[in-house]
Amino acid sequence: MRELLEWLKSQKGGVSTYWEFQLRALKLRATEPEQAACLSLLADIAGRFADKYYEEPLPVDAAAGALDRLGKLLGKAVENIEADAATRLRVLNEISVSELEPG
Protein backbone atom coordinates (compact mmCIF):
# COMPACT_ATOMS: atom_id res chain seq x y z
CA MET A 1 0.00 0.00 0.00
CA ARG A 2 2.97 2.30 0.51
CA GLU A 3 3.77 2.10 -3.21
CA LEU A 4 0.17 2.98 -4.02
CA LEU A 5 0.45 6.03 -1.76
CA GLU A 6 3.68 7.13 -3.43
CA TRP A 7 2.08 6.71 -6.85
CA LEU A 8 -0.94 8.75 -5.74
CA LYS A 9 1.29 11.56 -4.46
CA SER A 10 2.79 11.89 -7.95
CA GLN A 11 -0.59 12.30 -9.67
CA LYS A 12 -2.28 15.51 -10.80
CA GLY A 13 -5.83 14.44 -9.91
CA GLY A 14 -7.65 14.22 -13.23
CA VAL A 15 -10.52 11.76 -13.63
CA SER A 16 -8.14 9.15 -15.04
CA THR A 17 -6.20 9.27 -11.75
CA TYR A 18 -9.21 7.91 -9.87
CA TRP A 19 -9.92 5.16 -12.39
CA GLU A 20 -6.26 4.15 -12.35
CA PHE A 21 -6.24 4.25 -8.55
CA GLN A 22 -9.28 1.99 -8.50
CA LEU A 23 -7.58 -0.53 -10.81
CA ARG A 24 -4.32 -0.45 -8.87
CA ALA A 25 -6.06 -0.86 -5.51
CA LEU A 26 -8.13 -3.80 -6.74
CA LYS A 27 -5.06 -5.44 -8.25
CA LEU A 28 -3.10 -4.91 -5.03
CA ARG A 29 -5.68 -6.95 -3.09
CA ALA A 30 -4.18 -10.11 -4.63
CA THR A 31 -0.72 -9.40 -3.23
CA GLU A 32 -1.84 -7.85 0.06
CA PRO A 33 -4.88 -9.90 1.06
CA GLU A 34 -4.59 -8.74 4.68
CA GLN A 35 -5.48 -5.27 3.37
CA ALA A 36 -8.25 -6.43 1.02
CA ALA A 37 -11.10 -4.70 2.85
CA CYS A 38 -9.28 -1.40 3.00
CA LEU A 39 -8.21 -1.56 -0.64
CA SER A 40 -11.74 -2.45 -1.73
CA LEU A 41 -13.23 0.50 0.16
CA LEU A 42 -10.65 2.92 -1.23
CA ALA A 43 -11.17 1.58 -4.76
CA ASP A 44 -14.91 2.03 -4.35
CA ILE A 45 -14.77 5.68 -3.33
CA ALA A 46 -12.26 6.48 -6.10
CA GLY A 47 -14.50 4.75 -8.63
CA ARG A 48 -17.60 6.59 -7.48
CA PHE A 49 -15.79 9.90 -7.81
CA ALA A 50 -14.51 9.06 -11.31
CA ASP A 51 -17.95 7.87 -12.40
CA LYS A 52 -19.52 11.14 -11.29
CA TYR A 53 -17.27 13.08 -13.66
CA TYR A 54 -17.37 10.66 -16.57
CA GLU A 55 -17.56 12.83 -19.69
CA GLU A 56 -18.12 15.88 -17.48
CA PRO A 57 -15.65 18.65 -16.68
CA LEU A 58 -13.81 18.10 -13.42
CA PRO A 59 -13.43 21.45 -11.65
CA VAL A 60 -9.87 22.12 -10.49
CA ASP A 61 -10.99 22.70 -6.89
CA ALA A 62 -12.90 19.42 -6.81
CA ALA A 63 -9.94 17.54 -8.27
CA ALA A 64 -7.47 19.01 -5.78
CA GLY A 65 -9.75 18.42 -2.81
CA ALA A 66 -10.52 14.86 -3.83
CA LEU A 67 -6.86 14.04 -4.35
CA ASP A 68 -6.05 15.44 -0.93
CA ARG A 69 -8.86 13.48 0.77
CA LEU A 70 -7.93 10.22 -0.98
CA GLY A 71 -4.29 10.71 -0.06
CA LYS A 72 -5.16 11.34 3.58
CA LEU A 73 -7.39 8.26 3.77
CA LEU A 74 -4.76 6.05 2.16
CA GLY A 75 -2.07 7.61 4.34
CA LYS A 76 -4.06 6.88 7.48
CA ALA A 77 -4.52 3.28 6.35
CA VAL A 78 -0.79 2.92 5.68
CA GLU A 79 0.10 4.46 9.05
CA ASN A 80 -2.12 1.94 10.82
CA ILE A 81 -1.16 -1.25 8.98
CA GLU A 82 0.50 -2.62 12.12
CA ALA A 83 -2.05 -1.17 14.57
CA ASP A 84 -4.28 -3.25 16.79
CA ALA A 85 -7.53 -4.62 15.38
CA ALA A 86 -9.72 -1.96 17.01
CA THR A 87 -7.69 0.87 15.48
CA ARG A 88 -7.67 -0.74 12.05
CA LEU A 89 -11.43 -1.23 12.28
CA ARG A 90 -11.89 2.47 13.13
CA VAL A 91 -9.86 3.38 10.03
CA LEU A 92 -11.93 1.01 7.88
CA ASN A 93 -15.14 2.51 9.24
CA GLU A 94 -13.88 6.03 8.53
CA ILE A 95 -13.02 5.07 4.96
CA SER A 96 -16.35 3.31 4.48
CA VAL A 97 -18.36 6.47 5.16
CA SER A 98 -16.04 8.80 3.24
CA GLU A 99 -16.60 10.48 -0.08
CA LEU A 100 -14.04 12.38 -2.09
CA GLU A 101 -16.32 15.36 -2.55
CA PRO A 102 -17.13 17.55 0.43
CA GLY A 103 -20.62 17.56 1.66
pLDDT score of 103: 59
Residues 15 and 57: their CA atoms lie apart, in Å, by 9
- 3-state SS, 22-55, equals HHHHHHHHHHCHHHHHHHHHHHHHHHHHHHHCCC
The pLDDT tens digits of the residues spanning 16-48 come to: 999 999 999 999 999 999 999 999 999 999 999
Residue 29 is assigned to a structural domain of this protein: yes
Compute the distance between CA of residue 4 and CA of residue 93 in angstroms, rounded to an integer: 20
What is the pTM for the complete model shown? 0.94
Residue 81 DSSP label: T
**Number of domains within the chain:** 1
Within-domain flag for 82 = yes
Percent of the chain past pLDDT 70, that is, above it, reads 99
Rounded-to-integer distance, Cα 41 and Cα 77, Å: 11
- Structural domain boundaries enclosing 80: 2-96
Give the per-residue pLDDT at 101: 87
In-domain check, residue 102: no
Residue 58 to residue 25: CA distance in whole angstroms: 22
Kindly state whether residue 27 falls inside one of the protein's structural domains: yes
* 11 in any annotated domain: yes
Does 103 reside within a domain? no
**Residue 52 belongs to some domain of the structure:** yes
Predicted confidence (pLDDT) at residue 14 exceeds the cutoff of 70: yes
Instruction: Write down the mean pLDDT value for the chain.
Output: 95
